[in-house]
Amino acid sequence: MIIFIIIVLIILTTGFRIVRQNYEGLIETLGKYSRTTNAGLTYIIPGFQRLRKVSLALQPLEISKYSIITKDNAEITTSLTLNYQVTDSYKYFYNNTDSVESMVQLIRGHLRDIIGRMELNEALGSTSKINSQLADAIGDLTDVYGIRVIRVNVDELLPSKEIQRAMDKQLTADREKTAAIAKAEGEARHIELTTKAKNEALVKTAQAKAEAVKLEADAENYRIKKLQEALNEAGENYFKDQSISSFKDLAQGPNNLVIMDKNDMTNLSAVPAAKKLWDAAEQQDD
């Protein structure tokens, strides 16, 4: 009898269980769910009941890389990270054999659909947009899996190696094209500036020559004007003196033939006389 009582006491004392903070306990009786217990001390009937603990804390999860085909048939590799939390321990544990794996498959399917409607260049430059659309598509999974996704993020989108090589070639070609255009524009600018400088130099040279010609013409006009003014102011005796001087030079020269108008023939006698006068004047000077 005492042994029986001891055995009963041992069985009764082994039925106490502790559910930790941020956990819920699912109690099954003979394999069937009976109730949910919160954190703290709880009791189950040994041999008849079983306690399953489910964490309610935020859980990080990394979804490994997998391939997706874009709208323009380009293959890219993506990987994701997310944080989820169990909001309904009963649905999480009993409605699915593996709620986390089911959630991962659902997220992958939505991501394939989102990226599959984008072309490669759009997808590679729209990570934040993809994250937003993916979060909206996932929504609240509590009703299905008992899980709520707190945050989901596409960590990387990498095109295949073949596409990367093609993109590198295109990038190199674009850079070479840009450099060639810049060089051509620089040369064209240089030619433009050089031509402009030469034209300006030619214009300035022509202007300088025109100014010089103008100054020379003005000087000649000034000389002629002054000479004309001097001649206008000279008297009749001045011209007679100039005529006598000219006849003197002519008489002394070897070519002393003078052609004159008949009306001036009477003046020829003055030539020898003038010659003698000049000779006498020269002797006196000597």
Residue located via tokens 């008992």 = 146
Strands 75-86 and 140-141, bridge-based pairing: unpaired
Whether residues 226 and 193 fall in one domain: yes
Contact 89, 24 (CB under 8 A): yes
Show the tokens assigned to 267. Answer: 């003046």
What pLDDT score does 275 carry?
46
Of the three residues 112, 136, 159, the one that is the final residue of a domain is 159
Residue 272's pLDDT is what?
47
pLDDT of residue 57: 93
Mark which of 124, 139, 159 sits at the end of a domain: 159
By residue range, what is the domain housing residue 26? Answer: 2-55
Cβ neighbours of residue 231 closer than 8 Å, sequence gap 6 or more: none
Considering the domain architecture, whether residues 109 and 18 belong to the same structural domain is answered as no
Strand partners, 80: 63, 154
Number of domains, the chain: 4
148 and 86, same domain (yes or no): yes
Same domain, 30 and 85: no
- Considering the domain architecture, whether residues 216 and 170 belong to the same structural domain is answered as yes
> How far, in Å, are 13, 15, 46, 188 from residue 7 at the CA level?
10, 13, 12, 104
DSSP 73: S
Alpha-carbon span 41 to 19, nearest angstrom: 6
Q: What's at 57, amino acid-wise?
A: A
* 178 and 210 co-located in one domain: yes
Tell me the C-alpha to C-alpha distance, in Å, between residue 185 and each of 176, 178, 193.
14, 10, 12
Report pLDDT for 201.
Answer: 81
pLDDT of residue 279: 52
Q: Which of the 8 DSSP states describes residue 118?
A: S
Please list the ranges in the chain whose pLDDT falls under 50.
Answer: 265-266, 268-278, 280-282, 284-285
Alpha carbons 40 and 21: distance in angstroms, whole number: 7
- Considering the domain architecture, whether residues 220 and 202 belong to the same structural domain is answered as yes
Q: What is the pLDDT, as a whole number, of residue 278?
A: 45
Judgement on whether residues 137 and 84 belong to the same structural domain of the protein: yes
pTM of the model: 0.54
Domain shared by 96 and 117, yes or no: yes
pLDDT of amino acid 247: 57
Place of tokens 């009582």: 5
Which residue type, as a one-letter code, is found at position 114? I
pLDDT at 246: 60
